[in-house]
A and B are shown apart, each in its own frame.
Chain A
């Protein structure tokens, strides 16, 4: 566990609380440990820090008051949606304010003709689709946590989900984001039209991990719900062959609505949990979904089956109705809690690689299992090359935790080495900040810090996340050698 020293500066806390209570209802300002403890971590529970203060603004005006006060007193601010994030993006600062948007959960407007919804940042992802359902519309990005995660968090992380292969990420499905700068000034990125004048700040802010502005409103695109959907569950006796099958589906000009893979350890874990009737002997299972008009789906499923058979599927099952389709998917969607049952702790990773490297990276992960003596089931958004290796360990065993972190670091660096990225959808947060030193060259990191300064020159929004400092990179020693040149060539090295 990485529990930072809990040294709350009580004098400072009292001053900031006093200033906040002058503008917010008392109930919206929490500072007693029993009240703030629930906010000490997000989904990355290995990292915890008690915030100095937690605020729960009810509307944009109250968010503005909080930011103005924090800016004036130079108090760091970390925004939090549902706290389901897996990279520690909502890990509080011990000397700062944790700003929860939990109370800002209203759907402000839903226009079925224009096909947009304007919502507060605390609205749950699934709640938007539920509200749009009566009009035959839905909000497409569907992260596995969609029952609980908030749209504000989705924008901050540029979240994906099973269906993003066909329907895009958050950035492809959001029209406008309204927020406040650290000074409390309103800013609007994008518009209800399909573009806005000037630079594409909407794209820049999407995936910016709470570092550039605090989101107070999001306008999302709603798209027609497909009339029909059907999923194929295909077994393979070799993971590499399954990876090749994925490439073959794409090469055939098919863009599935979803294309997911689970290896045998993952399948066995989920079968125990969900009892979906998965093939426990298969080395890998592929879930390949088609959606659209019924005729379209029929045609596409036939094409998919042809490709899967050609590429060596040992068994193929096709869902016959909605219940069966949901049952096929249930295991994949419950993969994380399922492995949670077979191990005291697990570390969920998130790298993306070119699809053709899937086999190579899987073999590398197997080698790491042996090297570090830890089990690692794998689930993937195979269609996008986005991997979620799940390293199983016991956090009470300090040695296991260290081996887990080294295992993870090697996997991330392998992702970079094969031409991929350290994070496909969970974000950098605190978790992968060291590997940012490997993925980016010093000059690139300096530009990224410059982008941050353009919005938040004092670095008060979500400090210590996403973009590493020069100091951290030097410490980490993950020196990025590109073109034969070491960074900081002027520094003497011993």
Chain B
């Protein structure tokens, strides 16, 4: 069985000089996300397995092709989890794709994003070179933070071969409360509660209903329940609800209208946009099912200090991601050129020039 890393290097070194495009792909569960898929598939599946896991160190080091399910299973067996609660969006999701896509789930506002937990990355660049940045410790400021740069880079800077992630203990107690709240009160209430020392790990608001998940020490959750009131949602039902939010299988996400992802300052008042909205991340993430004009959406969101992504459906030719300021775009292009000098990796997946 040929060494997968040697094969990756061989493929890259053959592709580079002739500018042959390569599409880095794990399980393909995030294929819907981003611009067009271009190039010959470079399958990361063969390079899989948990390389190292020391639960007392709160670090797990995993090869890119490892199924996310396997990682979560190994962690659960030790009473630990990935704090950023990543969506799978399909059965074959791999850890390499999770980090490359950089998508975090409901717990993000409370616990942090994918990139907050990346401690180290072993990668292969466009020269076929095997490079390691960061390591297995959280406090590490040697050199520039390339591991975190790789998170969310959508494979445009190289193959993430191996990633070391910080993990945390599963919360001792959890409870989901439900409230009825009018739309004009929702954002304000959510932000007000976030300013209090309450163990809120996730919120979801849509159609007049607010779901609040409390996670933490038993005593803390009990006290918070007393303070907030609301209706307690039964355990299994709550788990299904949050999974539906995370995986976007919740009825809110059904229907043909394009799904926009609006990332805004958390206290942004309700945006004057037509369509149906679901609010997460303490108000900082607003999913919008809408047929509204992309330009209008981008303009409104930009004015609030945020950015909009055409997440699913719709016409991608309008541009999936918010355009970058010229000075920032220039930096992006130079970083791309440094790591992928021949421009072969996931060409155009993020922006045309990358």
Contacts and interface: CB of A to CB of B under 8 A. Distances in A.
Contacts of A489: none
A298 interface: yes
A451 B152 contact: no
Interface string A241-258: 000000110110111000
A343 B18 CA distance: 63
A296 B217 contact: yes
B162 interface: no
A201 B135 CA distance: 20
B206 to A, nearest CB: 19
Contacts of B307: 191, 193, 195-197
A200 B194 contact: no
Contact of A136 (B58, B115, B195, B323): B195
Given A185-B327, A192-B305, A198-B350, A207 B144 contact: yes
Interface in A391-428: 419-428
A425 B137 CA distance: 12
Given A188-B328, A191-B307, A204-B148, A453 B131 contact: no
Contact of A292 (B102, B109, B191, B197): B197
A355 B338 CA distance: 35
Interface string A166-197: 00110110000000010001111101111111
Contacts of A169: 138-139
Interface stretch (B40-48, B88-96, B263-271): B263-271
B8 interface: no
Contacts of A455: 331, 334
A447 B196 CA distance: 43
Interface in B173-205: 188, 191-192, 194-198
A464 interface: no
Interface stretch (A29-37, A92-100, A109-117, A262-270): A109-117
A197 B266 CA distance: 17
A419 B135 contact: yes
A443 B131 contact: yes
A187 B328 CA distance: 7
B219 A197 contact: no
B265 A193 contact: yes
B140 A451 contact: no
B325 A187 contact: yes
A120 interface: no
B139 A424 contact: yes
A299 interface: yes
A226 B169 CA distance: 20
Contacts of A254: 169
A194 B113 contact: yes
Contact of A354 (B137, B143, B149, B285): B137
Contacts of A293: 197, 219-220, 223-224
Interface string B330-353: 011011001100000000001100
Contacts, number: 259
B247 interface: no
Interface string B116-155: 1000000001010101110111111111111011011100
**Chain B: interface residue count, which band?**
35 or more
B309 interface: yes
A464 B108 CA distance: 38
Nearest to A295: B219
B221 to A, nearest CB: 9
Interface string B208-242: 00000000111110111000000000000000000
A352 B139 contact: yes
Contacts of A439: 142-143
Given A194-B108, A197-B322, A224-B197, A181 B136 contact: no
B56 interface: yes
A428 B217 contact: no
A353 B139 CA distance: 9
Interface string A350-376: 001111100000000000000000000
Interface stretch (A52-60, A278-286, A328-336, A381-389): A381-389
B324 interface: yes
Contact of A204 (B137, B149, B350): B149
Contacts of B138: 164, 169, 352, 384
A203 interface: yes
B338 A454 contact: yes
B287 interface: no
A251 B55 contact: yes
B306 interface: yes
Contacts of A160: 139
A385 B139 contact: yes
A195 B55 CA distance: 29
Contacts of A467: 143
A455 B112 CA distance: 27
Nearest to A225: B197
User: Which one of B195, B267, B306, B325 has the greatest number of beta carbons of chain A within 10 Å?
Assistant: B195
B6 to A, nearest CB: 12
Contacts of A187: 325, 327-328, 331
A436 interface: yes
A150 interface: no
B305 A191 contact: yes
Interface string B7-37: 0000000000000000000000000000000
A450 interface: yes
Contact of A195 (B56, B57, B146, B263): B263
B281 interface: yes
A447 B325 contact: no
Contact of B192 (A113, A251, A356, A423): A113
Nearest to A427: B141
A200 B306 contact: no
A28 interface: no
A354 B129 contact: no
B139 A384 contact: yes
A301 B298 CA distance: 49
Which 7 pairs, one residue from A and one from B, show the smallest C-beta to C-beta distance? A424-B139, A450-B338, A203-B148, A295-B219, A454-B334, A253-B169, A114-B267
Interface of B: 54-59, 79, 102, 108-109, 112-113, 115-116, 125, 127, 129, 131-133, 135-146, 148-149, 151-153, 157, 168-170, 172, 188, 191-192, 194-198, 216-220, 222-224, 263-267, 281, 284-285, 305-307, 309, 321-325, 327-329, 331-332, 334-335, 338-339, 350-351
Given A424-B139, A447-B339, 11 more contacts: A158-B145, A171-B145, A193-B305, A195-B307, A198-B351, A199-B335, A203-B149, A296-B219, A296-B220, A353-B137, A448-B146
